[in-house]
Amino acid sequence: MKQPIFKGSGVAIVTPFIHESVDLAAMGRLLDFQLEGGTDAVIVCGTTGEASTMTYRERMRTIEFCVEHIDGRIPVIAGAGSNNTESALALSKDAERAGADGLLLVTPYYNKASQPGLIRHYTCIADAVNVPIILYNVPSRTGVNIAPESYAELSKHPNIMGTKEASSNFGNLQRTLNLCPEDFYIWSGNDDETLPICALGGVGVISVAANILPAEMHALASLCLDGDFSAARELQLYLKDFCDTMFCEVNPIPVKAAMNLLGMEAGALRLPLYEANGIQMERIRKTLVQYRLLQES
Which residues face 22 on adjacent strands?
A: 17
pLDDT for the residue numbered 118: 97
Report if residue 92 sits inside a domain. Answer: yes
Whether residue 190 lies inside any domain: the answer is yes
Looking at residue 296, its pLDDT comes to 81
In whole angstroms, what is the distance from residue 271 CA to residue 222 CA?
Answer: 36
d(CA 155, CA 95): 22
Q: What is the pLDDT of residues 218-235, one digit of tens each?
A: 999 999 999 999 999 999
Summarize the confidence of residues 76-98 as an average pLDDT.
96
The structural domain count of the chain equals 1
Residue 171 CA to its chain's centroid (Å): 22
Residue 84 has pLDDT above 90, yes or no: yes
The 10s digit of each residue's pLDDT in 171-205 is 999 999 999 999 999 999 999 999 999 999 999 99
How far is the C-alpha of 235 from the C-alpha of 154, rounded, in Å? 34
Answer for the pair 233, 219: CB distance below 8 angstroms, yes or no. Answer: no
Q: Map 196-260 to HEC letters.
A: HHHHCCCCEEEECHHHCCHHHHHHHHHHHHCCCHHHHHHHHHHHHHHHHHCCCCCCCHHHHHHHH
Say if residue 28 is exposed, middle or buried (CB neighbours under 10 Å; 0-12, 13-18, 19+). middle
How far apart are alpha carbons 197 and 263 in whole angstroms? Answer: 33
Domain-located, residue 200? yes
**Full-model pTM:** 0.95
Q: Which of 7, 122, 151, 164 is catalytic?
A: 164
Residue 197 marked ligand-binding: no
Give domain status of residue 25, yes or no. Answer: yes
- pLDDT of residue 297 exceeding 80, the answer is no
- For residue 28, the enclosing domain spans 8-228
Residue 164 is among the residues annotated as catalytic for this protein: yes
* 268 within some domain: no
Q: End-to-end CA distance of the chain, in Å?
A: 54
Q: For the segment 260-274, what is each residue's pLDDT rounded down to a tens digit?
A: 999 999 999 999 999
**Is 259 contained in some domain?**
no
Does 48 show up as a binding residue in the annotation?
yes
Residue 93 annotated among the catalytic residues of the structure: no
CATH number, position 109: 3.20.20.70
Answer whether residue 131 shows pLDDT above 90. Answer: yes
136, 151, 185, 256: which one is catalytic?
Answer: 136
The answer to whether position 176 is within a domain reads yes
Whether 274 is covered by a domain: the verdict is no
What is the distance between the alpha carbons of residues 94 and 99, in angstroms, rounded to a whole number?
9
Q: Is the peptide bond before 272 cis (omega within 30 degrees of 0)?
A: yes
pLDDT digits (tens, 9 = 90+) for 7-29: 999 999 999 999 889 999 999 99
